[in-house]
Amino acid sequence: MSASDYSSAQLQQVHASVTGFFQDIGSELLAYGPEHATLALTLLPRHLNNASNMHGGVMATLMDVAMGLCGTWEADPADRRVAMTLSMNINFSAVAAAGSRIRAQARCRSSGHKVFMASCDLLDEQDRLIAFGEGVFKRGSLRRELRPR
C-alpha cells in the first residue's frame, strides 16, 4: 500500500458506496489509490455459467467497477466522483471454477479533466490471466450528490 492509498475505514466507506449490483455479487474492494483499484471475488455457484465456469457477465462487472474506480480516486472519499462507462473491451483468456478467488487489478492509463482510460487484468490465485480489457470512462457527479439508495 502506498502512502496515498485509503485506510481500511476509507476502503469500507467507498465499498459501501459502490453500486448495488457490485454489492449483490459479493465482491470486495481490496485496494484503492490514485490511478489504481483492486477488487476480489470468491466464486460461488451463482457466479457460474452453464459450463460451470465463471460467467462472462460477472467478469465484465468486476472489470468495469475496478476500471471505473481507478480514475475517480480523491484524497477524501466523500469527494469521489462516479464514473460512467463510455466503452469497454474485454478479452477472455481462461476459465475459473467455483471456489476460485479472482481479483480485478485496474490502473488508469491516461486521464483528462473529464475522461480517462483504464486497463484491467482479471487474475486467479495463481496469477493466471482469466481476462483482460480496457475501457474509456467519463467522470460524473460527486457520489454524495446522488440520491441515497
pLDDT digits (tens, 9 = 90+) for 24-34: 899 999 999 99
pLDDT at 51 over 80: yes
pLDDT band at 3 (very low <50, low <70, confident <90, very high): very low
pLDDT at 60 over 70: yes
**For residue 147, what pLDDT is reported?**
65
First to last CA, the chain: 31
Amino acid at the residue 107: R
pLDDT digits (tens, 9 = 90+) for 96-133: 999 999 999 999 999 999 999 999 999 999 999 999 99
Instruction: Give the chain's domains with CATH numbers.
Output: 8-146 (3.10.129.10)
Single pTM value for the model:
0.90
